[in-house]
Chains A and B, each alone.
Chain A
Amino acid sequence: MAVIFNDTRMRDRIQLVFSLGIFALVALLPAIVHNEYWQGVLIVSMYFAMLAAAWNLLAGYTGQFSLAPAAFGMIGAYVTGLLSYHFNAPPLVGIPAAVVVSAAIGFGLGRIVLRLRGPYLALTTLSFAEICRLVISNSIEITRGDLGLNVPGIFDHRLTWYYVMLGVLVFIQLGLYFLLRAPAGLYLRAIRDDEIAAASRGVKIVLWKTNAFTLSAAISGLAGALYGHFAQFVSPELGLLSQTGIIVSMVVIGGLATLPGPIGGAFLVYVASEFLRDFGGYQLIVFALLVIIFARFFREGLWGFFRRAIERTGRRPAPAPSAAE
């Protein structure tokens, strides 16, 4: 066990199995969680898990620390929301349109920030996110501004929503796994580690960076569109920077650049934030502190603890720590 854990393919596979385990657990939860409110909390957690997985693809695997994941969720939500508000378009049209529009905007943003790194990339994506939010909240004739839009629901039963969201989340996670084990996964990680070296080895930097932005935005747009129909309401608050902060903290606490990290982190952080709701703004302080502690001392997040625990169950100790991934 300990030995095979060092192999990248095996590492990814174990991480996938682990995330499938989380999904199985979540699938069984309605057996104990009968309360509709808490089922709703879990559904919103799944929305965040999608955003977190999408952001992890960009920041964790490709090294592009974007601060716009919530903005793409908001864009997705507004595309389907506006289509149904102005044109009575059904969700079957609105949701795919949300994916396409988010992907296109993600592609554009990816092109713009192609040559930017580190804090410059973060600041540019942050301004992009704020511009999107302000445009939406000020285009009152089109979007009704801060009043938000009412969006038609899709399913009557909360449990139907629950399993549809879970199904989409599983689909996204499997897609990411297969992407990462394909050559694309190698290219993305190579770009993260050293862009100059990647180029010198023939990796098409422009193509793969843009692909990462596009795909991440498409997933976020899908998440946002689904959320809009679930909540039956979209507002510019979906794109607040604090939302991005929550997404980042989910990934960092769960484990950056790991498959189960963003999923586990999303459920833990969002459910915990429900418990901490009474403390209002203080919950953000708690998560911010956790992020600092994890980023400083536990680079692999909670997944790192699990990994070490699994390794200890192996008969002999690992010959070397398997990764600072």
Chain B
Amino acid sequence: MACLSIDSVSKFFGGHKALDDVTFSVNEGELVGLIGPNGSGKTTLLNILSGYLAADSGDVVLDGRPITGLRPEALARLGVLRMFQLTRVFPRMSVLDNLLVTGSALGLAEAEADGRARELIEDLALTRMMHLDAGQLSGGQRKLLEFGSCFMVPPRIALLDEPFAAVHPTQVRQRTSGTLNVAPSTMTKPGGRPLR
């Protein structure tokens, strides 16, 4: 059964048609790669799916419920978590607190969130940096942290915008083969390199 269905979504930026009747669906447990050259609308689609942009036409349905026009925080609560192409972490909060924000906001109890965050930090090999401010992490570590944020609570769908750009291959393996529950998710990648 389709977890997410996208039905003829279009988006214009001025006279430029960035998305032209995009239609596809993602099944539960499925890993979908969104591939295309720069400027082909991958991020635009993710922005619409995660509530940062409004589609000019078309519908998005998550688990049988139309989610078009919902705000990002409402979508996150429905299980639509996302990673940004330009990494977004909370620079003046510790790595642990970065994850706790997501855990608490998505309804985990404090102890539960803390346990889950420490588990993820270990999986992502960030234990030594746990109490550092996220602003002190390297670019790759920030990506890991943001990636981890999407999995504090098992998401219905994780939208990962270029999750592996500028990340060391070892870390890529770590992320994809770890104990993280990484599916179902959609990812965007420029070019056509396979994910593993």
Contacts and interface: CB of A to CB of B under 8 A. Distances in A.
B84 A197 contact: yes
B90 A204 contact: no
Interface of B: 50, 52, 71-73, 76-77, 81-82, 84, 88-94, 96-97, 100-102, 104-106, 110, 131-133, 135-136, 149
Interface in A154-197: 183, 186-187, 189-190, 192-194, 196-197
Contact of B90 (A190, A202, A257): A190
A313 interface: no
A205 B81 CA distance: 16
Contacts of B101: 186-187, 189-190, 198, 201, 203
B104 A183 contact: yes
A196 B76 CA distance: 12
B50 A324 contact: no
Contacts of A7: 94, 131
Contacts of A204: 73, 105
B180 to A, nearest CB: 17
A1 interface: no
A205 B73 contact: yes
A36 interface: no
5 contacts: A8-B94, A189-B93, A200-B50, A200-B82, A202-B105
Interface in A28-66: none
A142 to B, nearest CB: 41
Contacts of B94: 6-8, 323
Contact of A197 (B88, B104, B106): B88
Contacts of A183: 100, 104-105, 110
Given A200-B72, A201-B102, A202-B76, 6 more contacts: A7-B131, A8-B131, A186-B101, A189-B93, A189-B97, A200-B84
Given A186-B101, A194-B90, A201 B81 contact: yes
Contacts of B71: 199
A194 B88 contact: yes
A197 B131 CA distance: 20
Interface in A80-135: none
A309 interface: no
Given A197-B89, A202-B106, A203-B73, A6 B100 contact: no
A317 B83 CA distance: 35
Contacts of A8: 93-94, 96-97, 131
Interface in A188-246: 189-190, 192-194, 196-205
A274 interface: no
B72 A189 contact: no
B52 A202 contact: no
Contacts of A186: 93, 97, 100-101, 104-105
A197 B92 CA distance: 13
